[in-house]
A = this chain, B = another copy of it.
Amino acid sequence: MATMKDIAREASVSVATVSMVLNNKPNSRISKHKREEIERLARKLNYQPNFAAISLSKQQSLNIALIVPDITNPFFSLLTKEIDLSLEKDGYSTIFVDSNNSFQNEKKAIESMVSRGVDGIILVPSNEFFRVDQAQRKQLIANLDKPFILLNAYPNDLDVSYVNFDNVNGAYIATQELINKGHQEIAFIQGQTGFVNAAERLTGYQQALRDHHLAVKPQNLFMGDYSVGSGYELASTITQRKDITAILSSNDLMLFGIIKWAKMHHIDVLHQYAMIGFDNDPYSEILEVPLTSVDQRPKAMIEKALAILLERIGSDHPVNKHALIKPELIKRASVFAPVTTSE
């Protein structure tokens, strides 16, 4: 690997001159002749800057850490893709960490990334992030003087930058869609409480019911954990409730779980219940009845999040900023008028 030293030697100039030329320093006064000579040599020797050296002297790495709970989840992999492609355009590389849904791993990752000198950290928090006690979360953020942003969820007890999508509105428009089709008994599968997204979605669901003068019934609420498995486990309970005609689920995966269970028990759940999920999972199109879903508009979220993060990296007066992205309801065949069950 050719270094600036090599170029300097061949061009009979100092390393400083080479550095100034190759970085196009605005106030540098280098003769056109030397400039061209140095550039020629850089090409000839296939000079590639050494990032470790730049990193060390400039105190910036052009690396951004991205910590996600589970890359296997299609929503997170979509986020990851968009973030990576977008960061690359700005000259940053993505250091990727799969926290495997563990707060301890998130903590370790953040410490390790700070030590690695990343320029910023994007954390898509795990469920567990919201289940540990506030003190632990606080401590995590307290020791952190890196540009940092939470994506896709935020705790209300922490002063950090975050970008999330508007859960209240998302749940509201989804519930409204079901009500408009004539549903009155709408099951709502929550995510765990403590998770802000879950609480907000519940709020949106309740608000929509109230605004349409429908009762908010505790027995219509079911608790899941965003996994296919938890949908699977809830399925028998929900399908026993003969009054329910529609299901609103905090994500598509849990609906997939219900569908799987139903398939194994020969119940035609897809035509019996109107269903809406969250995440707009691309796989839902493959289902016999493609799912209507609340799209969180990941691209918009990322655009905003990166704008906030990069601005934060550029400035020296850290100000925490927040943004909520308006969701979009992607309408598919899974929403229809109530079906009277006859069994």
Q: Point out the residues of chain B lying under 8 angstroms from A85, CB to CB.
A: 98, 100
Apart from A52-B52, A260-B285, list 13 A-B contacts with CB within 8 A.
Answer: A48-B114, A50-B117, A53-B56, A72-B74, A72-B77, A72-B81, A81-B100, A84-B97, A93-B112, A95-B95, A96-B96, A256-B283, A283-B283
Q: Is A180 an interface residue (CB 8 A)?
A: no
- A84 cross-chain contacts in B, Cβ below 8 A: 71, 96-98
Any B CB within 8 A of the CB of A94: yes
Which residue of B has the minimal Cβ distance to A255?
B286
Residues of B within 8 A of A10 (CB): none
Residues of B within 8 A of A260 (CB): 285-286
Bound together, the chains give a CA A42 to CA B307 distance in angstroms of: 36
Which residues of chain B come closer than 8 Å to A63, judged between CB atoms?
95
Residues of chain B contacted by A286 (CB below 8 angstroms): 228, 256, 259-260, 283, 287
Please give, as numbers and ranges, the residues of chain B lying within 8 Å of A50 by CB-CB distance.
Answer: 56, 115, 117
**Would you give the shortest CB distance from A261 to chain B, in whole angstroms?**
10
A177 at the interface (CB under 8 A from B): no
Indicate if A192 sits at the interface (CB-CB under 8 A). Answer: no
- A residues 49-100 in Cβ contact with B at 8 Å: 49-53, 55-56, 61, 63, 66, 70-72, 74, 77-78, 80-81, 84-85, 88, 93-98, 100
Pull 5 A–B residue pairs with CB atoms less than 8 Å apart, ordered by A.
A71-B77, A71-B80, A93-B97, A94-B95, A286-B287
A143 at the interface (CB under 8 A from B): yes
Question: Is A46 close to B, CB under 8 A?
Answer: yes
- List residues of A (31-49) whose CB comes within 8 Å of B's CBs: 46, 48-49
7 tightest CB-CB pairs across the interface, nearest first?
Answer: A96-B96, A52-B55, A48-B115, A52-B56, A51-B116, A77-B77, A256-B286
Q: Give complex CA distance A85, B55 in Å.
A: 26
Question: Roughly how many angstroms separate A259 CA and B288 CA in the complex, as a whole number?
Answer: 9
Given the known inter-chain contacts A52-B117, A56-B52, A111-B48, please indicate yes or no for A78 contacting B74, CB distance below 8 A: no
Chain B residues with CB under 8 Å of A256's CB are: 283, 286
Q: How far is the CA of A88 from the CA of B66 in the complex (A)?
A: 14
Select from chain B the residue with minimum beta-carbon distance to A263. Answer: B288
B287 contacts A143, C-beta separation under 8 Å: no
B111 near A96 with CB under 8 A, answer no
Residue of B nearest to A228 (CB): B286
> Which residues of A, 158-217, contact B by the 8 Å Cβ criterion?
none
The answer for the CA separation of A84 and B68 in the assembled complex, in Å, is 11
Contact in complex: A80, B98 (CB < 8 Å): yes
Nearest-neighbour CB distance to chain B for A248, whole angstroms, equals: 19
> Whole-angstrom distance between the alpha carbons of A260 and B289 in the complex?
10
Task: Decide: B61 and A71 in contact? CB cutoff 8 A.
Answer: no
User: Chain B's nearest CB lies how many Å from the CB of A12?
Assistant: 25
Q: A95 contacts which of B81, B93, B143, B263 (Cβ < 8 Å)?
A: B93
